[in-house]
């Protein structure tokens, strides 16, 4: 076993053993019925869920900071699954995935690519939300041949505007205790307006709907590692946007009108520097605008990936 195995996490020997599942085995499943599966690569046992139409180009989803398999929104993933396979992922050290979470985005991208390769996927669409968007950008730089189309939601470029650290009013939101704890996402993902908060409560109902075979919470060790990775990615530096010019893949950039986690200006920066990018901004919305404007987002996203 690799030294990257973290012994205080769930013992992979106690987990269900699976081989790489074929695309056809995911047909007929939905977000809430797809079983958690595991695949091994470089001493890490990665947890993932796979479902949808095996005919279309598979889409791999990369999760946000402190999120696991249970934080993906079924209203989005089930809509996507009508036309393609959807693969939800836990990166190394997240949820039921073993291994140590890297302290750099480059390390996270390496591990995410290991998972994609272990699943036998040779050409995918990548959907990265928030920190998952950092990872998606790094994957497409490191492995451009692996990616067909790129979806970047609530995210920003290396060294983006105000990305070196969270704003003073935002940082405490990630450490505040709630009962239940998932209430933390209401101020983080949704604007303060009554309408936005109402859609946030419906979002929570959707991600709570799966009652069996749920993922493990993200550990404090992983939270600390990913915090370090976010600071390293967000640190301002001369020429930090230069890498974007080399990403020629068709890209859809989406954000809310006032993202308090990754300031909305960074979506403009992405669109202005990526050679083949489109930008959508939703009104009265925050970091999780796609959870709020589901129908519009699904329509834009489906049209984009079906071209």
What does the pLDDT read at residue 23? Answer: 57
- Mean of the per-residue pLDDT values for the chain? 93
What does the pLDDT read at residue 22? Answer: 56
What does the pLDDT read at residue 24? Answer: 54
Percent of the chain with pLDDT over 90: 90
What does the pLDDT read at residue 122? Answer: 96
Q: Per mean pLDDT, which range of 12-16, 107-111, 150-154 is the poorest?
A: 12-16
Residues near 194 by beta carbon (within 8 Å), at least 6 away in sequence: none
More confident residue, 15 or 160: 160
Percent of the chain with pLDDT over 70: 92
Query: Is 252 in contact with 287 (CB distance < 8 Å)?
Result: no
**Alpha carbon distance 106, 256 (integer Å):** 26
What does the pLDDT read at residue 10? Answer: 45
- pLDDT over 70 (residue 238): yes
pLDDT digits (tens, 9 = 90+) for 183-213: 999 999 999 999 999 999 999 999 999 999 9
What does the pLDDT read at residue 4? Answer: 44
The band of 56, judged by pLDDT with boundaries at 50, 70 and 90, is: confident
* Sequence spans of domains, the chain: 12-305
Residues near 107 by beta carbon (within 8 Å), at least 6 away in sequence: 229
pLDDT digits (tens, 9 = 90+) for 28-54: 899 999 999 999 999 999 999 999 999
Mean pLDDT of 236-257: 98
- pLDDT over 90 (residue 115): yes
What does the pLDDT read at residue 150? Answer: 98
Write down the CATH superfamily of domain 12-305.
Answer: Alpha/Beta hydrolase fold, catalytic domain (3.40.50.1820)
What does the pLDDT read at residue 169? Answer: 97
ω before 180 within 30° of 0 (cis)?
Answer: yes
CA atoms within 13 A on the CB side of 55: 5
């Amino acid at each position: 076993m690799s030294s990257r195995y973290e012994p205080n996490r769930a013992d992979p020997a106690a987990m269900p053993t699976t081989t790489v599942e074929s695309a056809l085995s995911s047909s007929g499943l939905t977000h809430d019925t797809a079983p958690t599966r595991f695949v091994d690569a470089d001493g890490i046992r990665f947890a993932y869920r796979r479902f949808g139409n095996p005919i279309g180009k598979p889409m791999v989803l990369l999760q946000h900071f402190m999120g696991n398999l249970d934080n993906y929104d079924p209203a989005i993933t089930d809509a996507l699954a009508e036309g393609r396979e959807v693969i939800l992922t836990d990166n190394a050290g997240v949820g039921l995935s073993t291994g140590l979470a890297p302290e750099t985005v480059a390390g996270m991208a390496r591990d995410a690519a290991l998972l994609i390769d272990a699943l036998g996927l040779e050409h995918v669409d990548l959907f990265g939300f928030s920190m998952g968007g950092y990872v998606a950008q790094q994957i497409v730089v490191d492995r451009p041949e692996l990616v067909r189309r790129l979806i970047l939601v609530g995210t920003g470029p290396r060294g983006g505007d105000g990305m070196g650290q969270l704003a003073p009013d935002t940082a405490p939101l990630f450490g505040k205790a709630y009962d239940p704890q998932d209430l933390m996402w209401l101020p983080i993902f949704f604007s303060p307006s009554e309408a936005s908060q109402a859609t946030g409560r419906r979002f929570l109902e959707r991600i709570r709907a799966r009652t069996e075979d749920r993922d493990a919470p993200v550990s404090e060790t992983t939270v600390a590692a990913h915090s370090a990775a976010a600071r390293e990615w967000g640190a301002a530096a001369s020429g930090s946007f230069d890498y974007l010019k080399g990403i020629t893949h068709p890209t859809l950039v989406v954000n809310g009108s006032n993202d308090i986690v990754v300031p909305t200006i960074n979506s403009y920066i992405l669109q202005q520097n990526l050679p083949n990018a489109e930008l959508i901004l939703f009104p009265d919305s925050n970091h999780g605008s796609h959870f709020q404007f589901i129908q519009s987002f699904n329509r834009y996203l489906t049209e984009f990936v079906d071209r």
